[in-house]
């Protein structure tokens, strides 16, 4: 990145960092379910150890990763991406940024790394909680090896990063925070699983982003999280198309809209 | 709004040093069937305060938005600081500061943080101008408070500070005194005049407040229904180009009217509360001839002075004649 890009990245990061309300919701969505998961499982194990195994170990790692990467992490990523995509427009300052003479596409582009930086920081904290729960609450259970831990980290960053980038593009396209959050969460929580479970749609279901992402999970994904079989190449292609499409739409809208 | 003066504006290496600050030719903006800006030809000279005067809905803000690249023109040409826009928009806007409608900010950030965001999108030198700009508009003490706690007047000042980050050769201000109290308006006027007279900047002010434009600006354009009706120096605009009126006080008004009506230099002569109201057929130099003729006719002339029109009178005059052709209005 050149000096201008770094300055603009810093500026966008500042806007996201200081958005305390959104950031609090992002932290709650991404981290609270993990804390609750390990706490409840630990309590269950301590009260009835014969019926409930330890909260950690490889099973605990799998549960935590699924929760972070396929359920609550993407929702948190949507909040970050939408905030980055609509923050300037909803505050009415986008026109003041345009008046600086800086290219509109550059103004759009600087939102993406800033959103990823915030999203990934939160996800890294979440992943830290998973590792803490996995190893400290393992009891007599086997624990993930280094390769699985690294794969899990990469998957966490990929799964949430892709959703975050798509959210930036989508929100920049609609320029409405409420509409973007509603549409993306409805897609993520309702439409995607629904489509994935309509077997008559056949290979058309390959186009559902969450299915393509789940395909790369290093741990077993539940039926609800991913039941569409697809090839590695198809999965990569679907993810790239989603990212490229929404980045292009967001950039186009930012470049052409009246302010 | 006081404090240390920002250094006089000098042209950057890029923009040309000559040519008007703003020039438009046939600039038009249509929204479907409605024409918001209709073939505007405008020339704003450098180093002046120029008023863009018109009633609400006249097309002032649309015109400004086109100049700044916030919306596309339907047709016509425009240039800022000698650079064609939108072709050379990035270079042209390097030294332009603007407030469009009410100044908006991220309310959850401080004044200083809001400025730093704009500075990041400008040149590296812009960040170093944040403190001087805040001091210039009198906000340095409260720069670290969140903008959501600022009054409207403080936001206007912060908007001006944001403009100053560009070290602007040209400031474009849309209704800049909205929300300012009388003291703030006075300070604002002084700041604008200092920018023009001491620092050589050009200030383009859009306003529906005639009194404001008359007090701040050197020249103005009157716009209505998307068209520029007339433009020029304030004094000329107020007087009109062809109308020259005198108030004449004489010892025998009835005989004076008879004399005046016989003079080719006089278009019209009638009684008024202030004395005789005389409309000259030509320029103000004819007043001397009128005086001479009255004295020659044995009348004692006790008063002879030009009628001073306000810009408001001229504005109401031209905007009430919009159904006539533009040529008729200009006279």
The CA-atom distances, in angstroms, between A6 and each of A93, A111, A183 are 20, 12, 31
User: If you average pLDDT over residues A194-219, what whole number do you get?
Assistant: 88
Decide if A11 and B121 are in contact by the 8 Å CB cutoff. Answer: yes
The fraction of chain A above a pLDDT of 90, given in percent, is 85
Kindly report, residue by residue over A163-176, the tens digit of the pLDDT.
999 999 999 999 99
Under DSSP, is residue B178 helix (H, G, I), strand (E, B) or coil?
coil
Q: pLDDT value at position B1?
A: 54
Top pLDDT among B237 and A222 is at B237
Show residues of chain A in contact with B103, CB under 8 Å: 96
Query: Could you tell me the pTM of the whole model?
Result: 0.82
Lowest-pLDDT range, A47-51, A109-113, B3-7? B3-7
> How far A47 CA lies from chain B's nearest CA (Å)?
47
Decide: B217 and B51 in contact? Cβ < 8 Å: yes
Q: Tokens 């706690």 map to which residue?
A: B149
Show residues of chain A in contact with B100, CB under 8 Å: 95-96, 99
User: If you average pLDDT over residues A69-74, what whole number do you get?
Assistant: 94
Residue A63 has which token pair? 């549960």
**By the CB < 8 Å criterion, does B35 face chain A?**
no
Q: Give the B window 155-194 contacts with A, CB below 8 Å.
A: 162, 166
Residue B84 has which token pair? 């064609």
Show residues of chain B in contact with A258, CB under 8 Å: 65, 70-72
Q: pLDDT value at position B326?
A: 47
The CA-atom distances, in angstroms, between B94 and each of A129, A182, B19, B220, B295 are 48, 39, 17, 25, 62
Q: Tokens 């939108």 map to which residue?
A: B86
**By the CB < 8 Å criterion, does B79 face chain A?**
no
DSSP annotation string for A75-126: HHHHHHHHHHHHHHHHHT-HHHHHTTT--HHHHHHTHHHHHHHHHHHHHHHH
Helix (H) or strand (E) holding A196: helix A192-196
Q: pLDDT value at position B241?
A: 47
**Nearest of A8, A46, B147 to residue A55 by alpha carbon:** A46
- Averaged pLDDT of chain A: 93
> How far B166 CA lies from chain A's nearest CA (Å)?
8
DSSP annotation string for B291-317: HHHHHHTTPPEEEEEE----HHHHHHH
**Nearest of A240, A234, A222, A207 to residue A70 by alpha carbon:** A222
What are the backbone dihedrals phi and psi of residue A81, each rounded to the nearest 5 degrees, phi first? -65, -40
Decide if A103 and B96 are in contact by the 8 Å CB cutoff. Answer: no
Distance CA A125, CA A21 (A): 18
Q: Tokens 């936001």 map to which residue?
A: B155
Decide: B208 and B42 in contact? Cβ < 8 Å: no
Decide if B106 and A20 are in contact by the 8 Å CB cutoff. Answer: no
Angle (nearest 5°) at CA B121 between B117 and B127? 65
Under DSSP, is residue A229 helix (H, G, I), strand (E, B) or coil?
coil
**By the CB < 8 Å criterion, does B87 face chain A?**
no
pLDDT in tens, chain B (331 residues): 544 444 555 444 454 557 899 999 999 999 998 999 999 999 999 999 999 998 888 899 999 999 999 999 999 999 999 999 999 999 999 999 999 988 999 999 999 999 999 999 998 899 999 999 999 999 999 999 999 999 988 999 999 999 999 999 999 999 888 878 888 888 889 989 999 999 999 999 998 888 888 889 999 998 888 999 888 888 777 766 445 788 899 999 999 999 998 998 898 898 888 889 888 888 778 888 899 999 999 999 999 988 776 677 777 766 655 555 444 444 4
Helix (H) or strand (E) holding B192: helix B182-197
Q: At what angle do helices A177-186 and A73-91 cross, to 10 degrees?
A: 160
Q: pLDDT value at position B330?
A: 45
**By the CB < 8 Å criterion, does B69 face chain A?**
yes
Under DSSP, is residue B331 helix (H, G, I), strand (E, B) or coil?
coil
Q: Tokens 């009054």 map to which residue?
A: B151
**By the CB < 8 Å criterion, does A105 face chain B?**
no
Decide: B198 and B5 in contact? Cβ < 8 Å: yes
Show residues of chain B in contact with A92, CB under 8 Å: 104
User: Please, what's the b/e burial string for A97-126 (b: 16 or more CB within 10 A of its CB; e: otherwise)?
Assistant: bbbbbbebebbbbbbbbbbbbbbbebbeeb
DSSP annotation string for A114-174: HHHHHHHHHHHHHHHHHHHHHHHT-TTS----HHHHHHHHHHHHHHHHHHHHHHHHHHHHH
Q: pLDDT value at position B16?
A: 54
Lowest-pLDDT range, A179-183, A222-226, B56-60, B92-96? A222-226
| B252: CB partners within 8 A, 6+ apart | B299
Q: pLDDT value at position B329?
A: 45
Residue B316 has which token pair? 């109401």
Decide if A15 and B122 are in contact by the 8 Å CB cutoff. Answer: no
Q: What is the ipTM of this complex?
A: 0.89
What are the backbone dihedrals phi and psi of residue B43, each rounded to the nearest 5 degrees, phi first? -130, 120
Lowest-pLDDT range, A144-153, A227-236, B244-253? A227-236
Of how many residues is chain A composed?
259
Q: pLDDT value at position B244?
A: 76
What are the backbone dihedrals phi and psi of residue B224, each rounded to the nearest 5 degrees, phi first? -155, 145
DSSP letter assigned to residue B227:
E
How many CB atoms are located within 10 Å of the residue A39 CB?
13
Half-sphere exposure at residue B86, Cβ-oriented, CA atoms within 13 angstroms:
17
pLDDT for residue A225 is more than 50:
no
**By the CB < 8 Å criterion, does A97 face chain B?**
yes
- β-pair partners for B25: B77
């Amino acid at each position: 990145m050149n000096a201008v890009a770094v300055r603009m990245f810093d500026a966008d990061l500042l806007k996201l960092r200081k958005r305390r309300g959104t950031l609090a919701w992002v932290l709650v969505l991404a981290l609270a379910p993990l804390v609750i998961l390990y706490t409840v499982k630990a309590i269950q194990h301590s009260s009835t150890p014969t019926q409930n195994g330890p909260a950690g170990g490889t099973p605990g790692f799998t549960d935590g990763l699924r929760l972070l990467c396929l359920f609550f992490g993407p929702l948190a990523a949507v909040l970050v991406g939408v905030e980055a995509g609509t923050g300037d427009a909803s505050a009415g300052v986008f026109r003041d940024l345009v008046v600086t003479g800086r290219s509109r596409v550059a103004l759009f582009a600087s939102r993406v790394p800033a959103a990823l930086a915030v999203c990934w920081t939160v996800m890294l904290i979440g992943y830290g909680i998973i590792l803490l729960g996995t190893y400290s609450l393992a009891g007599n259970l086997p624990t993930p090896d280094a390769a699985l831990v690294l794969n899990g980290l990469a998957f966490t960053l990929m799964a949430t990063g892709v959703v975050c980038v798509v959210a930036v593009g989508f929100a920049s396209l609609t320029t409405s925070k409420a509409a973007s959050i509603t549409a993306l969460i409805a897609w993520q929580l309702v439409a995607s699983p629904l489509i994935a479970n309509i077997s008559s749609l056949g290979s058309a279901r390959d186009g559902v982003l969450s299915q393509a992402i789940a395909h790369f999970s290093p741990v077993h994904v539940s039926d609800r999280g991913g039941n569409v079989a697809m090839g590695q190449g198809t999965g990569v292609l679907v993810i790239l198309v989603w990212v490229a499409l929404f980045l292009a739409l967001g950039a186009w809208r930012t470049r052409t809209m009246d302010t | 709004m006081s404090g240390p003066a920002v250094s006089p504006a000098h042209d950057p290496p890029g923009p040309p040093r000559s040519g008007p600050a703003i020039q438009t030719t046939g600039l038009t903006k249509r929204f479907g069937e409605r024409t918001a800006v209709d073939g505007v030809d405008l020339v704003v000279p450098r180093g002046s305060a120029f008023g863009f005067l018109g009633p609400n809905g006249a097309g002032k803000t649309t015109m400004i938005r086109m100049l700044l690249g916030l919306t596309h023109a339907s047709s016509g040409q425009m240039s800022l600081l000698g650079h064609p826009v939108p072709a050379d928009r990035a270079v042209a806007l390097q030294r332009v500061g603007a407030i469009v409608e009410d100044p908006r900010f991220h309310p959850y950030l401080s004044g200083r943080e809001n400025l730093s965001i704009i500075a990041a999108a400008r040149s590296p030198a812009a960040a170093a101008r944040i403190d001087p700009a805040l001091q210039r508009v009198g906000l340095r003490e409260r720069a670290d408070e969140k903008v959501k706690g600022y009054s409207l007047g403080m936001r206007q000042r912060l908007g001006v500070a944001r403009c100053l980050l560009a070290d602007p050769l040209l400031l474009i201000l849309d209704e800049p005194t909205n929300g300012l109290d009388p003291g703030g308006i006075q300070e604002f006027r002084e700041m604008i005049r200092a920018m023009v007279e001491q620092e050589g900047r050009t200030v383009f002010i859009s306003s529906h407040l005639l009194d404001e434009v008359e007090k701040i600006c050197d020249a103005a354009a009157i716009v209505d229904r998307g068209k520029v009706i007339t433009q020029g120096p304030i004094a000329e605009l107020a007087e009109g180009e062809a109308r020259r009126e005198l108030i004449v006080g004489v010892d025998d008004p009835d005989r004076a009217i008879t004399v005046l009506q016989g003079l080719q230099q006089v278009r019209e002569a009638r009684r008024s509360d202030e004395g005789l109201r005389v409309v000259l057929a030509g320029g103000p130099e004819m007043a001397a001839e009128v005086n001479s003729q009255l004295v020659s006719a044995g009348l004692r002339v006790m008063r002879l002075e030009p009628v001073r029109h306000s810009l408001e009178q001229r504005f109401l005059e031209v905007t009430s004649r919009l159904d006539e052709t533009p040529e008729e209005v200009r006279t």
